[in-house]
Structures are given as C-alpha cells and as structure tokens.
Amino acid sequence: MDFRKQFFVGPGEKLKLAGIDPAHTGGHASSEEALPEIQKNVARMAELQALLYADGNQSLLVVLQALDAAGKDGVVRHLFSGMNPQGTRVYGFKQPSAEEAAHDFLWRAHQRTPARGEVAVFNRSHYEDVLVVRVHQLVPKAVWSKRYALINDFEKMLAENGTRILKFFLHISPEEQLLRFKQRLDDPARNWKISEGDYSEREFWSDYVGAYEEAMSKTSSKDAPWYVIPANHKWFRNLAISQIIVDTMEDMGLKLPPTRVDLQEIAVKYHAAEAAQEQRAGKTPKPPGKK
Amino acid sequence: MDFRKQFFVGPGEKLKLAGIDPAHTGGHASSEEALPEIQKNVARMAELQALLYADGNQSLLVVLQALDAAGKDGVVRHLFSGMNPQGTRVYGFKQPSAEEAAHDFLWRAHQRTPARGEVAVFNRSHYEDVLVVRVHQLVPKAVWSKRYALINDFEKMLAENGTRILKFFLHISPEEQLLRFKQRLDDPARNWKISEGDYSEREFWSDYVGAYEEAMSKTSSKDAPWYVIPANHKWFRNLAISQIIVDTMEDMGLKLPPTRVDLQEIAVKYHAAEAAQEQRAGKTPKPPGKK
C-alpha cells in the first residue's frame, strides 16, 4: 500500500476527520509484525539523511501537528533519533516570545527552515496560527482567515528553493487521548508533563477538528502535502510516517558529489614525500612540517 | 580508571602533547571488549539527557576540537545520535560569515549555547579563534593572546548560570591522520569530503600542537575542564568521551520535577464526567465538548 496516496489530503477537498478511523492499522496485525519494517525505515532514513547532507542541494522540512498526547514527541524520539544530529534540527514551537509576537506569524518559522543539506522537524509550527489562534480567538477571523494563502505562498517559495515539505497530522480519538493522559499521570517519570490545561482543552475538541479540517484542506498541495495519519496505534503511526519519509527522500534524486579524482595525484605526492622523510629520519616516524 | 582524572589538563600546567600516547587504550585489549561499555554509556547518556530536559535547571555544553580527521564527526555520530534530537543541538563552526566576523569572536558561540534543559555540542568552537587564527596569523598576537582570559570569563559566566562545560581534544598522530585521509580518498562515499587544503595544512602540524598546548593549559579549569583524549583508536576515543560525559551528568544532581499530586483529583473529575457522558450517549463514545 502506498501510504502517500492513502493518507494524502486532496487540495481543496471537503475533509471530514470523523470519516477516518484513528485506529486503522492497514493490513498489519500487530506491533510485532510492523517492527522490522519500522526499523528498516529508520535505518534507511539515517542513510538518506547522510546522502542529503553530502548532496548539499536540497533540504527536508517535516511538520508535525496534532492535539495533545497524539504522539508528536514520540515520532521525534522514535524516528529521528537515528539521524545524525549534526544535520538534523528539531524545533518545538511554543507560545511566541514577545519578540516573535511582535513580528508577522511566519517570521519565527522562517528562521528555522532547513539549510541546504539539512533536515528540520517542526514540532508544532506556523500552523498553530490558524489552529489554537483560531479556536481561542486570539486574533479576529479577518486576520487568521487570510493566513492560509500566506502559508501557501511561503511554502511554495521554500519548495522552489529546494525544500521538500511533508506535513503530518496525527489523528487520535478523544478516548485515546484521555487514556494517554491517565497513563502519564500514573507514571512518575512523565507525571510532570501534564497540566490542568491539557484536560480543559478537551472541551474545544470539535473546534480543533474544524480548524484542522479547514487548514489541511486549504494548504495541502503536491509540493507541500498534508497526510492524516491514524495514530491511536503508536506503531502504525511510526510505520506510516517513516514509510512516507523514506519514499519521499528516495524520490529526491540525491547524489554523492563527484569523486575527487584530481586529488589522487596530490595524495600520491604527499604520501611519497612523507614516506621519504620517514625513511631519512630512521624508524620512528616524525610529524611533518616546521620544527 | 577515572578518565576524568587521567585525561584532565591541569590549569596552567606545562602541557606537552608529545608526552601523551595517541594510541593509548588503557587496559582494554580490543574494540570488541570495549563495545558493550560504549553501548551502555550511550544508552545512559540518552537517559540522562531526558532527565536533564525534565529537570530544566541546568544545561550541558560539549566542545570538540581536533585536527582534521581526528574524529569529531565520528564522536557526534556515534555518541550523540542516541539522544533525543529535540533537546540536543549540534553546531559545526565553519569559517565565520561576514556578519559573524563583524562582531566579537564570542558572539556567534554565545548564540548557540544550550538553553536550560538542553545539550549543545560544538564541533569546533570559539577556540578556533586562538588556534587556526593564531597559526595562520589572521589577527595580530596582541589580539589573540588576550582571548584566553576572555574565554575564561565567558565560560565562567556560563558555568555560574548552570551550564556544565566539557572540552575534548581528540589527540591523533600525524601518521594516523595521513592513513585516514587515504582511506577517505579511496572510499567513494567519503571521497568528496577531502580537499587539497587537508594535505597542505599538515605542514602546520607543530604550530597547531603549540597553539593547542597553550590554549588548553590557559583555559582548563574545574568548571570548564579540557581533556586530552587518545584518539588513534576510535573505539577508545568513544569509550573515554562517553564515560566522562556519563560521570559528569551523574554528578549534576538532576531530578524529575515534583509529581503533580494536585492533578489526580482533577483527572478523576474529568474521567468521571466523561464516562457519564459516554453512558448517556450509549455504546459509541462521543468526542467531548461543544457540538
């Protein structure tokens, strides 16, 4: 199954999240069955990231959006820990600082887009400015409703400059969220992560669903696709996202830079000169250069 | 053996790198023997990083310095790939941009120091301003010679604000470097990483040794220690550095934030309210909130 086809949000489509089963697992029976595939994908992601870095002409931007406890942090930990941290940056977008809030809403996102050769992961993103901002009416509708077009222009510019963009919405049910809150609360190592706000925010669930449906429908495109990932099962979420990332990076036409044949001659010269120097100096090799 | 004692550069000591064997392996016979210890350390580093993040009061800054091919990138890949990339940032310091060069030499380093809860790894660092800058006389001696004291003041300020600093010099022999250049040149996947400059820079080997000896001697302290790590054997280098990081982080007194007992009551209330709502709605659970 091509997950890129299966979970793609069609541009302008009348998206209804209620029609997508968050507990979907494809043909996979269990976590145990999927694990080897996930591990293969994670290993391949690390290889492709090294190749992206070596190639140096393109970049990858992964956007993770979801309601609380849907697994954004889990995706980062399970799928991106294997990548070389020198070429991979993960940014958690929190409430804007005073300086960030004093700029346009894309300003802080733009500062964190990946350089050529890099992977950037946005854990939350500029999409919060048409999600939480809309649900809690932090700006008037006249302002947030214009942002879909602004986001499209921004992402188009990134894409034209060599950035591949993948946007994932982690789709869980409200029951699954409540269950995960409870598990966190009962786990001394994660208890501190939870706040009363996590619970009270549940009252806005259907508002968030509406905001997500409109945002994804209006900003999904071939160059900056949205995927709705069934995420009640963490292992299926990891399988689908890793597979989409691998398939996308395989399509990027990444290549190693040309072999430096011109250096072979230079290297031979240096190696010969230093070998001669060693011989003159007797058995103990000496550091080269001025003494 | 406590590597932190064994490889520590004493503040103000008359350091002679020629007296330290780059092929040292401690009592370890082989890579195979060391591997389980390295793996244990890397796993523990990931746990401690998660704890550092949860604790949220301190940070860790790791500085990696060395001549070319001594293994800085290898340390990043082998030891830091396991950490959660959301709390770990690796910065490769290259030739300064025009904007960076127009500021004081600590400006760009300061922008990349770790926030509370974070780990930052500097692959090269502000130390290049007393190393390559000195060797190639990019500024007069009157300028670079004052920088040791400026660096000490800067790092002291970081330490007083909760940043643990660990500085590693990866110590290889010139013969080992030449061997690694040759291996890179013969490997199609890494051939592109090498340039003629890598070879010609070898003529300045002894100048670099002198610059490193003075820099480490003048900027090593209890709060910002330098360690000279024998690095001809990659596995011993990984063992020693990972052990020093683990030992240091174990000493930081990291703690989980207090358990939110106050939330248990709130959670019970929410769970009960939603269970009642589900019962009223019949068998199919409904999303909570406004409809």
Residue B167 falls inside a structural domain: yes
Instruction: Please say if the pLDDT value at position B287 is more than 70.
Output: no
Same domain, A143 and A180: yes
Section B216-223 average pLDDT: 97
Shortest Cα distance from B221 to chain A (angstroms)?
27
Q: In what order do the strands lie in the sheet with B88-92?
A: B88-92, B119-123, B59-66, B163-171, B226-230
Residue B28: what pLDDT? 83
Same domain, B246 and B269: no
B105: tokens are 């030499």
Section B176-203 average pLDDT: 90
Same domain, A50 and A168: yes
Of A85, A202, A271, the CB nearest to B80: A85
Same domain, B179 and B268: no
Section A82-109 average pLDDT: 96
Q: Supply the range of the domain harboring residue B178.
A: 3-250
Whether residue B287 and residue A174 make contact (CB cut-off 8 A), yes or no, is: yes
Residue B285: what pLDDT? 46
Whether residue A86 and residue B84 make contact (CB cut-off 8 A), yes or no, is: no
What is the percent of chain B where pLDDT is above 70?
Answer: 95
Instruction: Please say if the pLDDT value at position B111 is more than 60.
Output: yes
Whether residue A121 and residue B85 make contact (CB cut-off 8 A), yes or no, is: yes
Same domain, B68 and B181: yes
Of B185, B189, B266, the CB nearest to A199: B266
Q: Predicted confidence band at A29 (pLDDT cuts at 50, 70, 90)?
A: confident
Q: Predicted confidence band at B124 (pLDDT cuts at 50, 70, 90)?
A: very high
Is B117:B125 a contact under the CB 8 Å cutoff?
no
Same domain, A219 and A263: no
Section B184-207 average pLDDT: 90
Q: Whole-angstrom Cα distance, residue A77 to residue B85? A: 7
Same domain, A290 and A214: no
Residue B291: what pLDDT? 34
Same domain, A89 and A118: yes
Q: Predicted confidence band at A282 (pLDDT cuts at 50, 70, 90)?
A: low
Taking only the tens place, the pLDDT of each residue in B18-36 is 999 999 998 887 899 999 9
Residue A291: what pLDDT? 35
Beta bridge partners of A63: A122, A167
Residue A290: what pLDDT? 38
Q: Whole-angstrom Cα distance, residue A132 to residue A216? A: 14
What is the percent of chain B where pLDDT is above 90?
Answer: 81
Chain B: residue nearest A205 by CA? B289
Q: Whole-angstrom Cα distance, residue B87 to residue B76? A: 15
Residue B255 falls inside a structural domain: no
Whether residue B263 and residue A121 make contact (CB cut-off 8 A), yes or no, is: no
Dihedral in degrees, nearest 10, Cα atoms B105, B109, B110, B112: 160
Residue B262: what pLDDT? 75
Residues of B in contact with A121 (CB under 8 A): 85
Domain total in chain A: 2
Same domain, B87 and B111: yes
Q: Whole-angstrom Cα distance, residue B291 to residue B33? A: 63
Instruction: Please say if the pLDDT value at position B109 is more than 60.
Output: yes
Same domain, B111 and B155: yes
Taking only the tens place, the pLDDT of each residue in B264-281 is 777 777 777 777 766 776
Residues of A in contact with B196 (CB under 8 A): 263, 266
Same domain, B148 and B290: no
Section B56-77 average pLDDT: 97
Taking only the tens place, the pLDDT of each residue in A208-259 is 999 999 999 999 999 999 999 999 999 999 999 999 999 999 999 999 998 7
Chain B: residue nearest A271 by CA? B178
Mean pLDDT estimate for chain A: 92
Shortest Cα distance from B87 to chain A (angstroms)?
8
Shortest Cα distance from B142 to chain A (angstroms)?
23
Which parts of chain A are beta strand (E)?
A: 59-66, 88-92, 119-123, 163-171, 226-230
Taking only the tens place, the pLDDT of each residue in A215-228 is 999 999 999 999 99
Residue B33 falls inside a structural domain: yes
Same domain, A59 and A157: yes
Domain harbouring B107, CATH code: 3.40.50.300
